């Protein structure tokens, strides 16, 4: 009879790192506390953990049920754990052997550790990760319809000496948008200064203002209660991804505040910075971008160079024929040399363009079949890469300055938006930005050159500043692991035809 949960050596290294750098636990603190946290993180995911978590090198740790569940101890949670797993897997684990219970327990614990490894690194706030993953995502069933705040809003505006007419209210996935026509243009600045008082008066989350499409129109965006949010699924935006006839590198990251998918052309970006704190939805944003590209391109029109210093976030794309190299680059020293090689490839493409009389790769591809594919370079954690290999910034700057003409585009992501990570030369050559939730207004300025991202609602809520346009509020689409695996499998299948 199974009575122990086993972990790998890598699992144990992560557990010790969480204890020391995440929980700041004293030396000798029990490791099973971390495993219980991992269990909680796994149980929040909608799909069951894969059977691959049963496979592990027998070189890690082992935990008996009295440690993990308190089995037979004064505080015994074994039945509680068994009940949670029974409900989750729709299986009566009270009437089965302990083997099945322990096997499922181990899968969830090891998957939870895997999730932590994907989204946390030493130096990041582990408690903020737990808050975002375990508490800010809790939702309850709405027991009443959304309240129309038009009259309350008008009353508040009059109190602030703001004269406006509310034309209509639009109920979006997370926000109610009230289209207000102001009495005169001078009222706009007064309205922007009163957002905190408006939020207080209406008892809601942070209120934001955006410029409308009509003269003197200002859209007042009021957050809805979290238990009424609507998830933006991949299925709801997938059909809106442009094909290469309309956009060279068409992507859809999510929807606007009204729930309408927003198509973009990454080739027009031409480079993109994605910044946000732990749990803000940064990684899911990258997956939406990559899956959008894979949905419309074969490897003869698109290559992907994936640099993943955290070693786990982009591993789902291993084996794709689109990859520049055999697999996502996880070793940071190899990442630096890979960027140097891509910079040299850019120079070769520039020479070939001149020889053929073209100014851009788009012209070459339109006139000849021997043109190289577009190349999108994704760096999953820019701060980690530059911290360990500062010399990697040089090829990144060269690619940002000149890559567009030769069809090479950068997507740089970071959890630590600061001037050291996103330097002046990079900033000036990466004009398109996605700001997810950040902790400080200064971090928002680093990403989009203005404040606002510190007031976002988390879970994919974002501000998109696309190549010279004003920042646009959006809600990112949610991709599950099943969605990603399905898209990757389909891309491999189509490649084989």
CATH number at residue 172: 3.30.980.40
Q: How many domains does the chain have?
A: 3
Do residues 434 and 401 touch, judged by C-beta distance below 8 A?
no
Whether residues 204 and 245 fall in one domain: no
pLDDT attached to residue 497: 59
Whether residues 61 and 168 fall in one domain: no
pLDDT attached to residue 143: 44
- CA distances 451 to 114, 292, 437, 444, Å, are 34, 29, 11, 5
Whether residues 348 and 444 fall in one domain: yes
pLDDT attached to residue 474: 95
Whether residues 358 and 442 fall in one domain: yes
Among candidate residues 204, 228, 252, the one where a domain is terminated: 228
Q: Which residues contact 176 (CB under 8 A, 6 or more apart)?
A: 146, 149, 169, 170, 221, 222, 224
| Boundaries of domain holding 338 | 234-496
How far is residue 477's CA from residue 233's CA, in Å, rounded to a whole number?
5
Whether residues 156 and 287 fall in one domain: no
CB atoms within 10 A of CB 70: 16
Using the structure block, give the residue that is written with the tokens 């509310």: 166
* Residue 133 within any structural domain of the chain: no
* Residue 279 within any structural domain of the chain: yes
pLDDT attached to residue 142: 41
Residues in the chain: 497
Go through 72-99 and write b for each residue having 16 or more CB atoms within 10 A of its CB, e for each that does not: eeeeeebeebbebbbebeeeebeeeebe
pLDDT attached to residue 127: 82
Using the structure block, give the residue that is written with the tokens 């700001």: 435
pLDDT (tens place) for every residue of the chain, 497 residues total: 457 888 988 899 999 999 999 999 888 899 999 999 999 989 987 778 877 788 777 678 889 888 889 877 888 889 999 999 999 888 888 887 778 898 899 999 998 998 888 777 777 778 877 876 776 544 443 444 678 899 999 999 999 999 999 999 999 999 999 999 999 988 999 999 999 999 999 989 899 998 888 899 999 999 998 888 888 999 999 999 988 777 899 999 999 998 999 999 999 999 999 999 877 889 999 999 999 999 999 999 999 999 998 777 888 898 899 999 888 999 888 999 999 999 999 999 999 999 999 999 999 998 988 999 999 999 999 998 998 999 999 999 999 999 999 999 999 999 888 888 888 889 899 999 999 999 889 999 999 999 999 999 988 999 999 987 888 999 999 888 888 888 999 998 877 65
Whether residues 246 and 376 fall in one domain: yes
* Residue 129 within any structural domain of the chain: no
Q: Are strands 164-171 and 208-211 parallel, antiparallel or unpaired?
A: unpaired
- Residue-wise pLDDT tens digits, 244-290: 777 899 999 999 998 999 999 999 999 999 999 877 889 999 999 99
* Residue 275 within any structural domain of the chain: yes
The secondary element (H helix, E strand) that includes residue 165 is strand 164-171
Whether residues 208 and 243 fall in one domain: no
Whether residues 335 and 209 fall in one domain: no
pTM: 0.74
How far is residue 308's CA from residue 284's CA, in Å, rounded to a whole number?
14
Q: Are strands 408-414 and 272-275 parallel, antiparallel or unpaired?
A: parallel
Whether residues 245 and 210 fall in one domain: no
* Residue 459 within any structural domain of the chain: yes
The overall longest dimension of the chain from CA atoms, in Å, is: 80
Integer-rounded Cα radius of gyration of the chain? 25
Whether residues 309 and 202 fall in one domain: no
pLDDT attached to residue 341: 95
Comparing CA positions, the residue from 331, 424, 345 lying closest to residue 385 is 331
Whether residues 288 and 172 fall in one domain: no
pLDDT attached to residue 132: 67
Q: What's 131's DSSP letter?
A: I
- Residue-wise pLDDT tens digits, 81-135: 999 999 988 888 888 777 889 889 999 999 899 888 877 777 777 887 787 677 6
Whether residues 181 and 41 fall in one domain: no
- CA distances 141 to 134, 225, 268, Å, are 17, 11, 41
């Amino acid at each position: 009879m199974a009575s122990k949960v086993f972990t790998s050596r890598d699992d144990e290294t992560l557990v010790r790192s969480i204890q020391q750098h995440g929980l700041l636990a004293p030396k000798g603190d029990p490791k099973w506390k971390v495993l219980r946290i991992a269990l909680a993180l796994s149980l929040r995911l909608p799909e069951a953990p894969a059977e691959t978590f049963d496979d592990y090198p027998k070189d890690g740790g082992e935990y008996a049920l009295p440690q993990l569940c308190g089995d037979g101890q004064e505080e015994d949670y074994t039945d509680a754990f068994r009940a949670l797993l029974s409900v989750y897997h729709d299986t009566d684990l009270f009437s089965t052997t302990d083997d099945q219970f322990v096997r499922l327990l181990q899968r969830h614990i090891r998957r939870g550790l895997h999730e932590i490894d994907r989204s946390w690194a030493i130096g990041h706030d582990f408690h903020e990760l737990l808050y975002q993953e375990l508490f800010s995502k809790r939702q309850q069933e709405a027991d009443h319809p959304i309240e129309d705040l038009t009259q309350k809003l008008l009353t508040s505006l009059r109190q602030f000496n703001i004269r406006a007419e509310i034309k209509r209210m639009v109920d979006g996935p997370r926000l109610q948008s009230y289209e207000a026509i102001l009495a005169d243009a001078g009222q706009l600045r007064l309205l922007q200064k009163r957002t905190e008082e408006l939020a207080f008066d209406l008892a809601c989350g942070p209120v934001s203002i955006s410029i409308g499409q009509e003269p003197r129109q200002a859209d007042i965006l009021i957050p809805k209660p979290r238990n009424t949010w609507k998830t933006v699924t991949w299925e709801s935006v997938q059909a809106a991804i442009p094909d290469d006839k309309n956009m060279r590198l068409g992507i859809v990251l999510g929807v606007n505040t009204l729930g309408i998918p927003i198509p973009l052309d990454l080739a027009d970006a031409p480079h993109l910075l994605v910044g946000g704190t732990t749990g803000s939805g940064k990684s899911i944003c990258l997956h939406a971008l990559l899956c959008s590209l894979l949905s419309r391109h074969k490897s003869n029109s698109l290559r992907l160079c994936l640099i993943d210093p955290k070693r786990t976030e982009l591993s789902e794309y291993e084996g794709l024929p689109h990859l520049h190299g055999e697999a996502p680059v996880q070793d940071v020293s190899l990442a630096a040399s890979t960027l140097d090689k891509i910079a040299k490839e850019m120079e070769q493409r520039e020479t070939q363009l001149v020889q053929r009389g073209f100014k851009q790769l788009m012209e070459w591809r339109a006139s000849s079949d021997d043109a190289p594919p577009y190349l999108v370079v994704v760096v999953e954690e820019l701060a980690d890469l530059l911290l360990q290999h500062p010399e990697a910034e040089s090829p990144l700057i060269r690619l940002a300055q000149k890559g567009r003409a030769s069809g090479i585009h950068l997507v740089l992501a970071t959890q630590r938006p600061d001037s050291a990570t996103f330097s002046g030369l990079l900033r000036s050559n990466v004009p398109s930005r996605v700001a997810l939730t950040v902790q400080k207004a200064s971090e928002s300025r680093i990403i989009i050159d203005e404040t606002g991202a510190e007031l976002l609602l988390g879970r994919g809520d974002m501000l998109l500043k696309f190549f010279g346009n004003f920042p646009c509020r959006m809600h990112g689409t949610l991709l599950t692991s099943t969605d990603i695996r399905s898209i990757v499998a389909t891309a491999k299948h189509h490649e084989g035809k």
